[in-house]
Amino acid sequence: MKKFLGEYGMVLVLFALFVLFSLLTLNRESATGAAAASRLSKEMLAAMSSKTEVFVVGAVRKPSGDFAGFVAADLGKNEKVTVTQVIGTPRDLRQAWDTAEAEGNTPSLLVVSGDVLKWTILSALQEESPDLEIIYPTERMVSDFLKRGNLLAIVDRIVVIAVIAIGMTLVILTGGIDLSVGSLVALSAVMATLAIKVMGGLEAGGGAIWAGFLIATLACGAIGAIAGFLVARFEVAPFITTLAVMLIARGAAFMMTGGFSIYQVPDSITWLGRGATFGIPNTVLVLIVFYVAGHVFMRHTRWGRYIYAVGGNEEAARLSGVPVKRILIFVYLVCGLCAGFGGCIQASQLATGAPNLGVMFELSVIAAVVVGGTSLSGGSGRVMGTLIGAFIISVIQNGMNLLGFDSYLQQVVLGAVILFAVLLDKARQNGT
């Protein structure tokens, strides 16, 4: 049982969170699309025998207003019906009603939807003319959480963290830690946007953008490799080495920009962070490609196996002929590359490079890795677990936002989740 919890516990937690937030954010909502409008119009026409006065009511700049427009257009095609379209406030409805009554054209049907249903004037009108029939589309339960827009927002919010977390997983698997990733996000975003600014600024083409991204990512990879070299060759504690790199990278980012943001980039820079390919958001594609690659690498290559071995027992690995130093340099290099690419995504999402990006990201990234079941002492954990961990954190944040939790409480809850994950990890270690 404990073993099962250790292996699949986090998937279950993520699933439970999905269910929980889906239920908690359920709202009654009437359909307001064009399809629902034409369906409703057809039903009304079928039920109509004689010539009828119809009022179609909607609120301004609300789904109900759009819906009223659709219904009015559909009904207007039929000569049996006289349609009056009222889009506005309850006051507008009262005026239109009174005008129609004065002209002797008191409507017998009132088509409403969404928020208009809550207007008190509707019951007043029904009292005045008992024959009045109020028609509205069928209501259904909709979860705000499960809406496509919201799910994509979750991905958008976590994509940078999740990409970096792959590199962090490798580092933590060797028993190390990399605190510099947050600063590298800023450095990368700044370098990428600076390069693009130099290569044409607002008029820069796609080639310049990709060149900027490539330069920034490779530079961060090089910085990671240097940190890895210090860890491997001189056996400096990873915590200290990367703490120093964190300060240096952040300072460098501020120095490069003089403290300002760089926004002289073309709009097309947002393709990576906000665009889509074949209808799938690019951020989703990035996550899929990176995580599949990470998983395959760790499971099916020699170096993947070596990374686990170095974290599990460095001395045994060394005596077995594993090139421990090269492995250590490699994981920090990969972590740097991931942070660099994460910075490019961030710059793309914001269409800006700012030196204050990525503050505290290292902690979110480490949290994602740990929640995903990778042991901080190294040697055990999985890349796919990290993806789950990142999503758990993002889903909790998103759900709490939807439910209107204030941000301080959100921090408390997130902290509790991390503690829970670590305890689960302990339970697993004791269980096996």
Q: Smaller CB distance to other proteins: residue 275 or 312?
A: 312
Angle, alpha carbons 245-249-250 (nearest 5°): 120
Tell which residue, 322, 392, 338, 330, has the closest CA to residue 364.
Answer: 392
Q: Smaller CB distance to other proteins: residue 120 or 432?
A: 432
Q: What is the DSSP letter of 279?
A: T
Angle, alpha carbons 129-131-134 (nearest 5°): 95
Q: Smaller CB distance to other proteins: residue 250 or 428?
A: 428
Min dist CB 326 to other proteins, Å, is 10
Number of residues that this document lists for the chain:
432
The Cα–Cα gap between 374 and 10 comes to 11
Min dist CB 314 to other proteins, Å, is 9
The Cα–Cα gap between 319 and 273 comes to 45
Q: Smaller CB distance to other proteins: residue 62 or 305?
A: 305
Phi and psi at residue 28, to the nearest 5°: -70, 135
The Cα–Cα gap between 349 and 361 comes to 16
Min dist CB 61 to other proteins, Å, is 58
Whether 262 contacts 353, CB under 8 Å: yes
Q: Smaller CB distance to other proteins: residue 179 or 309?
A: 309
Min dist CB 329 to other proteins, Å, is 15
Min dist CB 247 to other proteins, Å, is 28
Chain contacts with other proteins (rule: CB under 8 A): 300-306, 308-309, 312-313, 315-323, 379-380, 432
Tell which residue, 342, 348, 325, has the closest CA to residue 220.
Answer: 342
The Cα–Cα gap between 220 and 302 comes to 25
Min dist CB 308 to other proteins, Å, is 7
Min dist CB 300 to other proteins, Å, is 5
Q: Smaller CB distance to other proteins: residue 17 or 307?
A: 307
Question: Residue 259 CB: number of other CB atoms within 10 A?
Answer: 11
Token readout for 425 is 């990890």
Q: Smaller CB distance to other proteins: residue 314 or 362?
A: 314
Whether 143 contacts 23, CB under 8 Å: yes
Q: Smaller CB distance to other proteins: residue 116 or 324?
A: 324
Min dist CB 377 to other proteins, Å, is 9
Residue 108: HSE in the Cβ half-sphere, 13 Å Cα cutoff: 10
